[in-house]
Amino acid sequence: MKRDKSLKFRFCLAITIVFLLWFFRTGLDADIKVPKTVNLFVREKNQTPIPEFKSSNKLILFIIDFDDFMCLSCIDSFVNFYHSLPFPVIKESAWGILTYDGTKWKDDKPKGIKVIEKKLRGFVRANSIRLPILIDHPHVFSSLAAKGTSIVLLNGDRGFLREYVFPLNEFQKDEIIKTLVE
């Protein structure tokens, strides 16, 4: 009889210990659990997923001088080089900035803006340019276009930026493409 009681007691004690262990463990887990990270590049279930963000820190910025539109052979070098770039580079690492002389339409700026927008539209369409191009109305990039249409190449992986002025020689073209695709 005494033995039965003792066994019973031990069994209950074991169950209690197991229960306590389970209880505290889950509680501790809740206390030390790392907050769930929010992935900024994955949307909620209902929305279409954004393309995977590249780890590459490279950007090619085309600084296009509006005056070069008056001399299409001048801007041909840019068009030919643009079309030689691999499509993923154009899609993910390339932008265009169209600069113009702000004094040219100082008497009628709205008209000047329309002229620029229209010529850009015609140029982009006729040359199948799929680059996002912004018009530099605040003239932030004007000094970069002082020598004509050019490229600013930014490489965050290696920590440098470089400027190339069109027309490019073969060495420069190779250097730029190699930097973008490595």
Partner 1 sequence: MKERISQKKLFVVLFLLLGLSVQIQSLAQKGNMKVRLEEVLSIGSLDDDALFQWVSVKADLDGHIYVTDSMDYSLKKFSSFGKLLKKTGRKGQGPGEFLAPRLLDSTKEHLYVTDQSVPGIQVFDKNLDFQCRIPIPLPVVDFKILSDNEFALATFSPNEKGAILVFDSKGKAIRQIQYTDNVSSPMMDLVSFDFDSDRNLYIAYTFQDKIEKFNREGKKEWSLSLLKVKQQSRKRISRFILPTKVVYKDVTLDNSQKLYVLGGSFSKKKSQDVYVISPEGGLLATFTLPEPSHCIYIDSRNFLYSRANEGITLKKYRMQHVYN
> Should residue 126 be labelled a site residue for partner 1 when binding is judged by CB under 8 A?
yes
User: Which span sits near partner 1 by CB under 8 A: 40-48, 65-73, 131-139, 160-168?
Assistant: 65-73
Q: In the 3-class helix/strand/coil scheme, how is the chain assigned residue by residue?
A: CHHHHHHHHHHHHHHHHHHHHHHHHHHHHHHHCCCCCCCCCCCCCCCCCCCCCCCCCEEEEEEEEHHHHHCHHHHHHHHHHHHHCCHHHHHHHEEEEEECCCCCCCCCHHHHHHHHHHHHHHHHHHCCCCCCEEECCCCCCHHHHCCCCEEEEEECCCCEEEEEECCCCHHHHHHHHHHHHC
Q: Closest separation between CB of residue 69 and partner 1, Å?
A: 7
Q: Site size for partner 1, by CB under 8 A?
A: 16
166: tokens are: 């069109």
The rounded distance, in Å, linking the Cα atoms of 80 and 87 is: 14
Q: Closest separation between CB of residue 129 and partner 1, Å?
A: 12
- Nearest Cα neighbor of 53 from 62, 70, 65, 40 is 40
> Should residue 162 be labelled a site residue for partner 1 when binding is judged by CB under 8 A?
no
> Should residue 114 be labelled a site residue for partner 1 when binding is judged by CB under 8 A?
yes
> Should residue 36 be labelled a site residue for partner 1 when binding is judged by CB under 8 A?
no
> Should residue 72 be labelled a site residue for partner 1 when binding is judged by CB under 8 A?
yes
Interface residue with partner 1 among 37, 46, 73, 103 (CB under 8 A) is 73
Binding mask 84-113 for partner 1 (x = CB under 8 A): ---------------------------x--
Interface residue with partner 1 among 62, 78, 82, 123 (CB under 8 A) is 123
> Should residue 83 be labelled a site residue for partner 1 when binding is judged by CB under 8 A?
no
Q: Where does this chain bind partner 1 (CB under 8 A)?
A: 69-70, 72-73, 76, 111, 114-115, 118-119, 121-123, 125-127
